[in-house]
Amino acid sequence: MVRHLYPLTLSGEPPHRLVGAWLMLAISALGLSALFAVVLVVGRTPYLARMLPSLDGFHSALVLHVTLAAFIWFLAFAAALWNALCTGVRSLRWAGFGLGVAGIVAITVSPLAGEGPAVLSNYLPVLDNTVFLAGLGWFGAGILFTAAGVLAATRLRGRIADGAAALHAGILLALVPTIAAGVSWAWSFATAPEGLHPAAYFEVVSWGAGHALQFTHVLLMMVAWLALAAECGVALPLPPRTVAALFAVAAAPALAAPLVHALYPVATPEFRAAFTALMQYGTWTVAVPLGVLLLVELAKSRHPAVSERGLRATLVISIGLFIAGCVIGAAIRGETTLVPAHYHGTIGAVTLAYMALAARMLKHFGYADQAAGAARWPVLYGAGLALLVMGLAWSGLHGLPRKTGWSAAAGNGEVLAAMAVAGAGGVLAIVAGALFALSAWRAVRGRRRAGRRRDGRLRAFAVTLAAVVCGGIALAWIGDEISRPSAQATAAADPRVDPAGYAAAQRAAEIDRRFQQGVVMLHAKQYDDAIAAFHRVLALAPEMPEAHVNMGFALIGSERHAAARDFFESATSLRANQINAYYGLAVALEGLGDLPGAIGAMRTYTHLSRPEDPYRRKAEAALWEWESAVAEAREPVQSAAGHAPNANQR
């Protein structure tokens, strides 16, 4: 059987300035994301979280970390690969790079604008302020300019003759889902309904584009896997044309994005479900079998050279993280930390592959000795990420909600232990990522002294750890100083002054966030997600009538009318004038076939509601319909009068 190597050969115009510019922009984004990530690790690590004065810094850091690590780093690295395959039309591609730089600068400094809250929408959380949104738009435009320039400058080969040509085909095919994501975002922006809550609006706008971009990342991750395997001397029993065909299959599902937009409006449950299914069944089907094949071939090639061991370990961890992320994703039930465990596994696999490939690209650009320093850190990053995923999955199996600090697990020793594991892994990954970025910058600037010198890696590790932790805490304090509503309110939530007040502030913030999330899911008719959100709210605030009411409406949507009735009755017991609870109770009783009870509850609603209430007309129409039905079957209703509907009227 003929076996083939798949090396990544880079062309591009000498001396690869545009490729190197995008590469260093990508690495800079990764380094900055590590700085913001330390706030998240501190916020989720037991007792260390008390160093954060409020959740404001935690949520802002979460937005910036995700944006820099899962959006800018990935797409900037993709832009470096795209530019490495072509010459010509440089003005358009340099314009794209300029927009990319403007975008990352604006996003990084956006917390200083001091306006707008953090909106923790899925796929692309944002700071709802002008500077952040402008930076996001500039960077996205820069990527589209780059894609246009690459398409205009690239000449497609007639046939795939070798492994290098197959990888080139894979890199170019990654433009397909990227352009599909741009189309999806523009379509969503143009057709999003007015009047949505900010959390719902940003999720609606980014839902399709976020899903489409996953195909870009997975496709380029497979390219990186094959290139790294070739660096280790591992050949595959797959001909180049077959590999190119696999790349095409991996990119093809993204072509369905415009079709989904044509079939369903963006704010409908069908739209969400279609893109979810597209990613659920399309992203892993090529990557997982290819990863398994690479693991088998790596196991067969024994006795690697010492210089290859770190690279082989990085490749194995990347493949393992991706497979683990897919398995964890299949186990997700509700909004727990299983969700971040899933995406830290899959996205972390992409990051790890990119880091290792970036070190090889630095070597290609003539920084062979200096790039060796950057190549040391991906293994440490992968080990930390594996611990982080393990801890998040462990705590998620115990129902710990996502996007919260450690205080949500207070009193549960096993969950606290899981979060401690996640915190340790997060710190390890942050330090390794920061050191990788510093090593890469050092390589490009060429400041490494000639000749031998004392190994300073341990000292560099310690200094970087201290700098990252101190810098992250400083960022949290700066963000808090900018966004705090008042000095008195913040002092009440400062754990150094009042630990109980700090825990109460975190609990109140989580209740508000989960309640708003449940409302968004309820309006989107995602009833199971809404039930999970309101269940968490009621666990934290069992005497909140509004949560009981909304849980009731979510249960009605799931056609669980008996359970809905119980929640509506609980709401009326907690607050007798909770008007919408009587409306929901009437609907639930109708679903149970208890029309007399439904009539009694709806009469109470019409008695308490105001004439301008938008639901009053529907209530009166329902009363007329139910009373007519009771009149037509008066005798059966009278024989079943034991339900005592008048009890609902008192």
Domain contains 66: yes
CATH number of 573's domain: 1.25.40.10
Same domain, 157 and 245: yes
Domain contains 151: yes
Same domain, 465 and 575: no
Same domain, 218 and 349: yes
Same domain, 68 and 205: yes
Domain contains 537: no
Three-state secondary-structure class, residue 126: strand
Same domain, 27 and 124: yes
Same domain, 279 and 169: yes
Same domain, 294 and 373: yes
What H or E segment, with its residue span, contains residue 466? helix 457-483
Q: According to the model, what pLDDT value does residue 40 have? A: 63
Q: According to the model, what pLDDT value does residue 184 have? A: 94
Same domain, 105 and 195: yes
Are the C-beta atoms of residues 338 and 398 closer than 8 Å to each other?
A: no
Q: How many distinct structural domains can be found in the chain?
A: 2
Domain contains 12: no
Same domain, 569 and 469: no
Same domain, 567 and 433: no
Domain contains 491: no
Domain contains 487: no
Q: According to the model, what pLDDT value does residue 369 have? A: 52
Q: What is d(CA 284, CA 289) in angstroms, rounded to the nearest whole number? A: 8
Global pTM reads 0.69
Q: According to the model, what pLDDT value does residue 446 have? A: 57
Give the model confidence (pLDDT) of 452-485 as tens digits. Answer: 344 444 554 455 445 444 544 444 444 444 444 4
The torsion of the CA quartet 412, 418, 422, 428, rounded to 10 degrees, works out to: 120
Q: According to the model, what pLDDT value does residue 69 have? A: 84
Give the model confidence (pLDDT) of 131-184 as tens digits. Answer: 898 999 999 999 988 988 888 877 655 577 788 889 999 999 999 999 999 999
Are the C-beta atoms of residues 626 and 582 closer than 8 Å to each other?
A: no
611 is in which domain, residue-wise?
543-648
Domain contains 532: no
Q: According to the model, what pLDDT value does residue 45 have? A: 52
Three-state secondary-structure class, residue 88: coil
What H or E segment, with its residue span, contains residue 485? none
Same domain, 28 and 142: yes
Pull the structure tokens for residue 621: 């129409």
Q: According to the model, what pLDDT value does residue 406 have? A: 47
Are the C-beta atoms of residues 40 and 426 closer than 8 Å to each other?
A: yes
Mean pLDDT of the chain: 78
Three-state SS string across 155-173, please? CCCCCCCCHHHHHHHHHHH
Q: According to the model, what pLDDT value does residue 506 have? A: 61
Query: Which ranges of the chain have pLDDT less than 70?
Result: 1, 11-16, 39-58, 87-89, 114-116, 155-158, 195-197, 199, 302-307, 333-335, 365-375, 399-413, 443-507, 634-650
Q: According to the model, what pLDDT value does residue 161 have? A: 75
CATH number of 362's domain: 1.20.210.10
Same domain, 274 and 193: yes
Domain contains 332: yes
